[in-house]
Amino acid sequence: MRPIRHISRWTAVQLAAVLALALAQLPAASAAGVMHFFARPDNGLAATPPMGWNSWNHFACNVSASLIEAEADAMVASGMKAAGYRYVVIDDCWQVGRDANGNILADPQRFPQGIKAVADYVHGKGLKFGIYSDVGDHTCQMRPGSRGHEYQDALQYARWGVDYLKYDWCNKGGLDARSAYATMSDALRATGRPIVFSICNWGEEQPWLWGAQAGGNLWRTTQDIWDAWSGRRDFALGVLDILDLQVDLAAYARPGHWNDPDMLEIGNGGMTDAQYRAQFSLWAILAAPLIAGNDLRQMSAATRATLTNKEVIAVDQDALGVEGRRVSKDGDAEIWVRPLTDGREAIVLLNRGARPLSIRLDWSALGLPAYLPLRFRDLWQHQDLPVAKVSLTLPVAPTSVRMLRETPAAPRG
What does the binding site for ligand GLA look like in residue numbers (CB under 6 A)? Answer: 56, 91-92, 139-141, 168, 200, 202, 224
Residue 92 is a catalytic residue: no
Least separation in angstroms between residue 142's CB and ligand GLA is 9
Secondary structure class of 112 (helix, strand, coil): coil
| Catalytic option among 153, 168, 241, 316 | 168
Q: Which is nearer to ligand GLA, 92 or 163 (CB)?
A: 92
Q: How far is the CB of 221 from ligand GLA (least distance, A)?
A: 11
- Catalytic residue, from 224, 260, 295, 318: name it: 224
> Which residue, 219 or 380, is less far from ligand GLA as judged by CB?
219
Residue 64 CA from chain centroid, whole number: 24
CA distances from 117 to 109, 111, 122, 366 (A): 14, 9, 9, 50
Residue nearer to ligand GLA on the CB measure, 59 or 252 = 59
The SS3 call for residue 189 is helix
Does the annotation count 224 as an active-site position? yes
Helix axis angle for 115-124 and 65-77, nearest 10°, is: 10
CB of 133 to ligand GLA, least distance (A): 10
Nearer to ligand GLA, 208 or 336 (CB): 208
Q: Are strands 128-134 and 87-89 parallel, antiparallel or unpaired?
A: parallel
The string over 29-67, giving b where at least 16 C-beta atoms fall within 10 Å of a residue's C-beta and e elsewhere, is eeeeeeeeeeebeebeebebbbbbbbbbbbbeeebbbeb
The C-alpha angle 46, 227, 231, rounded to 5 degrees, equals: 110
Considering the complex, what minimum distance in angstroms separates the CB of residue 47 from ligand GLA?
A: 24
- Residue 351 has phi, psi (to 5 degrees) of -105, 105
Nearer to ligand GLA (CB atom), residue 171 or residue 272 = 171
Phi, psi of 12, rounded to the nearest 5 degrees: -65, -40
Count H helices, E strands: the chain? 11, 21
Which strands make up the sheet holding 232-233, listed edge to edge? 224-225, 236-237, 232-233
State the DSSP H helix or E strand holding residue 197, giving kind and residue range, or none if neither. strand 196-199
Residue nearest to ligand GLA (CB): 140
**Distance from first CA to last CA of the chain, Å, rounded?**
62
Q: How far apart are CA 392 and CA 374, in angstroms?
A: 10
Name which of 227 and 406 has its Cβ closer to ligand GLA.
227
Beta carbon of residue 224, minimum distance to ligand GLA (angstroms, whole number): 5
Q: What minimum distance in Å lies between the beta carbon of 177 and ligand GLA?
A: 14
> Residues with catalytic annotation?
168, 224
